[in-house]
Structure 1
Amino acid sequence: MNLRRLRHFETLYRIGNFARAADELGLTQSALTRSIQKLEGELDAPLFDRTTHYVRPTGAAERLIRSARDVIAAAANLEQEARGLKQPTTGTVRIGAGPYPLQPLLTDAIIRFARDHPAVRVTVTGGPSEQLLETLVDRRLDLVVCDRAKFATSGHADEVLCIPLPSEPLVVVCRADHPLLATEGRPDTAAWRWALPRPAPGSNFPRALRARFAAGLFPDYELDSTVACLEMARSGLAITVVPRSLAARACADGTLATLALPAGEQTRDAIHLLRNRSRSALVSAFVTILRGTA
């Protein structure tokens, strides 16, 4: 079976449009059509239902796509390892990350990894944890670092290996002159505007905030970057929650300050890898560094 045709099949399956898939592959639409037809001839089964309005995978395509992606990923690892026989430090590590592990955990790990492997390309993709896990299962990421609770509720739990990382307390961050800091006892954080990444943490937040969250009205500023949330806090327009290590760095210049949250409010991140997927030496090296950094 031709590996090139399998790549054409995977791209068309993922994109669902001949013209856009051909453009991504650098082919003409007619060349992609011929390639898919030849693969269907080899398999003696149609892979896509086609009309003038849509391209949809058949049952045969649904059965084959996971195996095809395994073959494509294994071939990519083989090519990378083969290149590494002469240049053992070249290649790419593709990471998916939720907003909380991105800073400073992943950033610090990437810096350490880059010092050991200066010629290796590292890419980091953000987004909702559920979407990142889907992308991992589709073999478009090598690992995902996100809240392990998302793994437990994922439909791919049997396919994914979850390696828990040490937890870290979450803290409230606000401007150093914020009125919250002058409040005696436990401050009423529900009275202020919030900037948080999606989804907002905090099962132990005040009832008023939980009610706003349930109504789709919380947080006030939903920003998929803890750095952006910290800048909102620095402006005085909002307060935010970040891991304690990130808060310590952000507060070093004296413009920001922290407030403690209940003890249960902490990160619950983990490294997620596909169970039955071979990992390159570079991915294994990054996982080792990431665990050491955590």
Structure 2
Amino acid sequence: MWWARWPSGFTTGGIMRWSQAVARRFEELGGTLLLETRVREIAIENGRATGVVIEDASGASRKIAAGKVVSNIPIQDAFRVADKGAFPGDWADRMEGLYGYGSIAPYFGLNKLVMPEREWKVGVKDTYVIPKEEGFEYDVYMCWNIQSQIDPSCAPGGRHLMTAYAPVTEKEGKDKTLMAKACRLIIDYLERRYPGFRKSIDWALFPTAWKLEGVAKSKTQAGTLKAPVEAPGVAGLYFAGDTVKGYGVAMDCAVAAGLICASRITGKDYGVA
């Protein structure tokens, strides 16, 4: 069991504000954003990336020539648009075999706080919320916090918002029956830990995902075992996103990988190596 002083927060106005801010800054710096457009191919000629072939909403295709191409497609899926034969064979096979993990991310609207006051403004974690004997590959841990104690605007007066997160495997995340069972078991656990919790619930949501993080942090995948930002065997092709070498998980990893990628392309030091 542990407590964290600074739980995660929410983007004011909703998560799309984050994407909109990034897009706005990209355009301010001179970038052109193409919407309703698919990348059909990363063009590779003689061991070098030469651009991308795109398809717009009308179905028309054209090539955009470029001396450098940055792809944030999950590395396992990159070979759908890039010729796998252009990369070292063993490396490409290993990248295709990387797996991610999913999650259950409960939201609880509470009419009162039944947990100890010392837990109101910290993040809490328990490593044994659902035992693997309930049908899971591993014991399921969970982290949670009372978000409205950090940001009162998250809940109306006299009410509280509790958010939580529990990782599961990709296969488990796709199993609707197992996920429904997990939701019940999470409430059972919280009732045992905090007597009266069940009655304190006004409403509950249980969003689930089978691909929360592109590459799970396992012994065979973590750290330098992930894809490098510079594509082996293909000059001028770079990878970014949370499925390549970075630091942290999810968004933290994606940002770190982006900074590493930018540093390799521009030669500037962005503080992440």
Indicate the TM-score class for this superposition, using the shorter chain for normalisation.
under 0.3
TM-score normalized with structure 1 length: 0.21
Higher Cα Rg, which structure = 1
Higher-helix-fraction structure = 1
